[in-house]
Amino acid sequence: MVKEIRIYIEGGGDGKNTKSLLRQGFSSFFKELVQVARSNQIKWNMIVCGSRNNAFRDFKNALADYPKAFVILLVDSEAPVVKQSPWEHLKWRDNWDSPAGVDETHCYLMVQTMEAWFMADIDTLKRFYGQGFKENAIPRKSNVETIEKDLLERSLKAASCDTKSKGEYQKIQHASKLLEKLDVGKVRKASSECDRLFTTLTALMED
């Protein structure tokens, strides 16, 4: 039985405060998983690491430092993932080798970046940005993982640039708040990798 889960997440910039805000956003987005952990008396920890290299470094260190915990890496894919496992993709993209004894249940990707998850829930984007939001600037894809990386942030900026209350999309200021408001069901439906994370961790904690 798993006693502790530790998730090492890319993002949050270099500041302690901005990392804390992103952690709060992810805590809300993963609320369903947090509740499963609590109901099964499993300790749940999320560590927002800043850069992707820092996330991978901290993940590897945690494997050694917390041998009794189930340690997870969550990073952007930064590119399409085509017929590859997450570790195979990261070997190709970043030249990262999967640590010994670690399989795919320890590694998850935001394909192609976290902003793809926002694209899955246009209704939340419209409510968040309010008057002036140009929803036609957002790509309409049933599979948000196919939206090109370069188009993700650019589309969000184009859609939000004329909004009065929030202004143009800024990752550090807006991402954490959007994560708190997303419809998780919509994101899971539009992102198979996000769904895999929820499905795998739920099964792991309820085993």
Please tell me the pTM assigned to this model.
0.96
Q: What is the mean pLDDT of residues 156-182?
A: 96
Angle at 116 between CA 134 and CA 54, to 5 degrees: 130
Summarised one tens digit per residue, pLDDT across range 180-195 is: 999 999 999 999 999 9
Work out the angle between the directed axes of helices 171-181 and 16-29 (0-180°, nearest 10). Answer: 20
Q: What is the mean pLDDT of residues 141-150?
A: 96
- pLDDT at 85 (0 to 100): 95
CA distances (Å), origin 102, targets 2, 73, 77, 87, 89: 15, 11, 18, 10, 15
Q: How confident is the model at residue 115 (pLDDT cuts 50, 70, 90)?
A: very high
- pLDDT at 207 (0 to 100): 83
105: amino acid identity, one letter: T
Q: How confident is the model at residue 14 (pLDDT cuts 50, 70, 90)?
A: confident
- pLDDT at 83 (0 to 100): 82
Query: What value does the mean pLDDT of the chain take?
Result: 96
**Distance (Å, rounded) from C-alpha 171 to C-alpha 30?**
19
Tokens 């070997």 correspond to: 91
Q: What is the mean pLDDT of residues 41-68?
A: 97
CB neighbour burial string for 20-54, b if at least 16 within 10 angstroms, e if fewer: ebbbbbbbebbeebbebbeeeebebebbbbbebeb
Q: What is the mean pLDDT of residues 16-31?
A: 96
- pLDDT at 82 (0 to 100): 85
My answer on whether omega of the bond before 170 falls inside 30° of 0, hence cis, is: no
Dump the DSSP string for 111-145. SS-THHHHHT-HHHHHHHH-TT--GGGS---SSGG
Q: What is the mean pLDDT of residues 63-74?
A: 97
